Amino acid sequence: MEPSATIMAEELLGWVSAVRGAVVDVAFPHGLPRINEALAILREDGSALLVEVQAHLDDHHVRSIALANTSGLSRGVRVQGLNGPLSVPVGDLVLGRLLDVTGIPGDAGPALPDDTARRSIHQPPPALAAQHATSERFATGLKVLDLLTPLVQGGKAAMFGGAGVGKTVLVMELIHAMVERYQGISVFAGVGERSREGHEMLLDMRQSGVLPHTVLVYGQMNEPPGARWRVPLTALSIAEYFRDERRKNVLLLMDNVFRFVQAGAEVSGLLGRLPSRVGYQPTLADEVAALQERIVSVEGVAVTAIEAVYVPADDFTDPAVTALASHMDSMVVLSRAMAAQGMYPAIDPIASSSVLLDPLIVGETHFTLATEVRRTIEHYRSLQDVISLLGVEELGSEDRRIVARARRLQRFLTQPFAVTEAFTGMPGRSVAIDDTLAGCQAILDGECDDWQERSLYMVGTLDEARSKEQATSQGETGDRMP
């Protein structure tokens, strides 16, 4: 930019020269705002429509993306530069509030004071030398996660799955399980969420009493692509403030990050860029990296991220999915086949992985046991075609024993969720890591070979399964008595 173009905000005035849906062209007679700077379009009713500069068309025109509905906007409307990127309110005053992409409360509560601290949504990540990794375990109470894809403070975990396999329910359960025991700040980003989901989240937070330590940021499904595209950055800026300024641990939850990529593809198309692979924007990798590389921990304080990722058409080779997966420490893959069998949470124990499943982090015992559980279930899967064709009776005695234990392991790794209690009538279970390890070890050692498989289904600890088995056995004995 030429030196003469850098002028004060009150002098940087222009007008709308063209409106095409969410794309607004603005003319400036003297100087141009920088890329990613915010502009305020002053409507006749006194309200301001915020847009973000995305391209310089020539010496006097910029192309911007609207962060709200442009309905009714006309050419010639006055525009004022804000002399910087979009800034959003941060600090204690936003705790317990539901905000939109620009930081305006959407929970029918009082407006935020004018002197509320603000922070730009565009921030560079901390220097590599300042980033810090921890090995402190983050217990979720979910058996299959704690066993096979452990989380640590400061890690990034993603739930990958197609439509209807339980991503949002799993994230909701993690919120329920972790926020109540978590000593820190929680920031939830609803990217392209349905209004029903946002309303349910707000009610759940209020009823559980954790809302005073939580910030909810939503860019709903009916909002323009610019709003959905920038909502994760708004939430991330609030999380960074509590990490950097208040030195507090932050739990950052996002649902659904795929819609961030999808909104970016819409914006790219609106700006006239040629599409890349599978129709995605050519800047896909850059946009994902710009978001994910800011989710880091520094000395003494951690940002732990849990993100839901929609997998279009169950295709895990989709460019958006692979771009997001490359930034994750833990990949939790949800399986449609397991969901069809009623194995909830429908987490695939073979496809799911974590770089944190390491003897130096989880211990030698946990690592060895997790490896044996995976090996047993994988062996069972390799025999499924034979079992389907010939029956389990045609297998050798050793294979039959492995199959029986694998099926019991799969059922033991299911558990009822607290957030689904209203639908299933089963109270949720939270299981300590030691109880999960002890239960899996007992099954592998053959202690449950004589049990019915249903005794291990949808239970918490192995002791609960044992009680269920004994009750079932006594009931069957009673049925046989004259």
As annotated, the active-site residues are 167, 193-194
3-state secondary structure of 201: helix
- Residue type at 99 in one-letter notation: L
Q: Of 103, 66, 48, whose CA–CA distance to 218 is shortest?
A: 103
How many whole angstroms separate alpha carbon 369 and alpha carbon 346? 21
Nearest to 231 by CA among 86, 20, 62: 86
d(CA 412, CA 377): 12
Q: What is the β-pairing status of strands 37-42 and 78-85?
A: antiparallel
Terminal-to-terminal C-alpha distance of the chain: 94
List the one residue out of 407, 410, 415 whose CA is nearest residue 461. Answer: 415
Tokens of 290: 């710009």
- Pair of tokens at residue 465: 């399964």
CA distance 70 to 77: 12
Tokens of 447: 């202690």
**Separation of alpha carbons 142 and 144, rounded Å:** 6
Instruction: Measure the CA dihedral 103/109/111/117, to 10°.
Output: -50
